[in-house]
Structure 1
């Protein structure tokens, strides 16, 4: 009898338009659902993480990351909205419960999005750290931009859900964004140029490149500038936007090296020996390793030599290998020309002197036009 009176009193006590007994029921359902949601999340996370450790696919890793990033406050808020809806509390309570659950959902979406961005950036870092550390730095910057965009979108959606006019807000932010963009346009230009270098990869760290009259090995690709170590030892720093606007020659990606050189012999060389020179050069070049002969021709009559143009390919881009091959070719040419009696030309001038006839000088004349003795 006493218990019935107490329940009757609880049923008559009103809180926020609902009997206290209904509130107690909602709290009980809320607590039960919270425990169920949290337990299910923990069990599923541990099971899928164990499965991901045994497989090489990325899908289970992504699912495990999503479950691991699911926070208890989101599950508790979801349980609260479900409880007030199940118990059928007054409509304003259900609406506020929905808004609270929506805000918690947005926060959870931020956690999920940030977790996925971190997961892929970390995965990319592990894959590219040794071969392209600059790309890792830029990808981390790209991840930061992704998180910033995610936070912005979630904030606008949350404000719109609470009745804030986001159209005027976006317009104001847009005007401020234009002003800020004009103030930092050079920095933003270098930033996007850095992302372009990372994504398009015209060069990577370790490549030997030439920009205009500067050359060197790429040491670092940063968010604003790229640093190059020149052949003479100093470090060259280029802004990324200026670098992409320049003509870049990347020698690291050279597959073969085309070599052109000229050999000059003296004008006194007989015609028979001139005809033998292209074959001699061809034999010498084809005797070398990692070389493909192209051509050798009597090209021109120079100011002090008869010039032969030679073209061949080194099948490896290594510069030291090319110099070793060219040295061997030069020594072999020197030896063969000595054997054949062919002389190399060097800058000379020949002065031809012709005897001139004596000039007759007229004898002086007097006032009458008579020649004086």
Structure 2
């Protein structure tokens, strides 16, 4: 038995002795289970550490380690084993190419995990903040995931083909031209879809917000992949393209913390000087005695064509429109009553025309008598 074993160890295959083949096999068979054991231990410890922390970075690292495949460890062991062998150049090259292909596929798995983590984390922040639309978030999240995975695996495939000796220049050019053609064909659709994703990420508004876009205003009812639906003030439904929506100026009234009010008041020029100078103080007092109101200024601002004009501005400390209407209405009632009691006369657009009679003309000379 011993002689048979010694004969096998001294025998050569592909110019390599049996002893060298045995050493390479031991490296391969020992390294792969060892790496698997290290992976399992690392994942278990990372999971335990992640349970004690609030950050999700630990979970992402644990997912990356867990995505390391056993066949990739086997390829690493195979490559290290072949280093100890003096293989023919052809076989050595094949093992090297196999490791590159396996490494790129494993890299694609790691990159896919990172893409999913980044996209999910981005959308999770908006969902927790309450600004994302439940109708759009899953679709937009899936689209971003798909786009990231397409980019990752396209790079993997191209690198693998290049490692296998295939010329990818024409393929890359063809994919570029085809991508441009597809993008041009669905330019409008892609623009609306990307705009919907931008709305979710940037959160200029959310369902339930009262907004104004140009001359149109309403309450956001639904954010779709291609359009946003508003409930108009008259009960009508307004459908706006997401691309057009983001290219316009949007006023979001729901997110107002305070509401500023500016009011112009005009009195006639025949108002006595004492009342003219007293009016700013009267306007200020009318504002300051009201609740949920902060005075800003009251001043004479212009001598108009038909009135002495004052401007009153104040802040309502709540964004509630119903409160604003009630407070502003009561303020106007008080101003009308007080100003009328003090003798102020409100001006209205008018123009005075002065007619000057012509001066006396000399009497006309008598016409000569007819001859």
1:74 & 1:208 partners in 2: Cα distance?
55
Gaps of 5+ in 1: 351-373
Q: How many residues align?
A: 350
Moved more, 105-114 or 142-151: 142-151
1:261 & 1:59 partners in 2: Cα distance?
54
1:298 & 1:124 partners in 2: Cα distance?
50
Deviations 1:255-302 (A, max 9, x none): 543322344667886665555444322211121233223124385667
- Structure 2 counterpart of 1:324: 326
Aligned pair in 2 of structure 1 residues 25, 223: CA closer, same or farther (>3 Å)? farther
5 Å-filtered alignment, 1:282-301, equals 282-289=284-291, 290-297=293-300, 299=302
Aligned pair in 2 of structure 1 residues 321, 30: CA closer, same or farther (>3 Å)? same
1:179 & 1:298 partners in 2: Cα distance?
60
1:82 & 1:185 partners in 2: Cα distance?
50
TM-score normalised according to structure 2 size? 0.78
| 2:217 counterpart (215, 218, 231) | 215
TM-score normalised according to structure 1 size? 0.78
Tell me if the contact between 2:132 and 2:206 (Cα under 8 Å) persists in the aligned partners: no
1:133 & 1:247 partners in 2: Cα distance?
20
- Structure 1 counterpart of 2:132: 133
Aligned with 1:133: secondary structure? coil
- Structure 2 counterpart of 1:228: 230
5 Å-filtered alignment, 1:1-373, equals 2-5=1-4, 7-8=6-7, 12=11, 14=13, 23=21, 25-57=23-55, 60-130=58-128, 131-134=130-133, 136-137=137-138, 138-198=140-200, 200-263=202-265, 272-273=274-275, 275-289=277-291, 290-297=293-300, 299=302, 308-337=310-339, 339-340=341-342, 342=344
Tell me if the contact between 2:283 and 2:298 (Cα under 8 Å) persists in the aligned partners: no
Gaps of 5+ in 2: 353-371
Tell me if the contact between 1:207 and 1:251 (Cα under 8 Å) persists in the aligned partners: yes
Aligned pair in 2 of structure 1 residues 125, 248: CA closer, same or farther (>3 Å)? closer
Aligned pair in 2 of structure 1 residues 223, 19: CA closer, same or farther (>3 Å)? farther
The Cα RMSD (Å) is 3.6
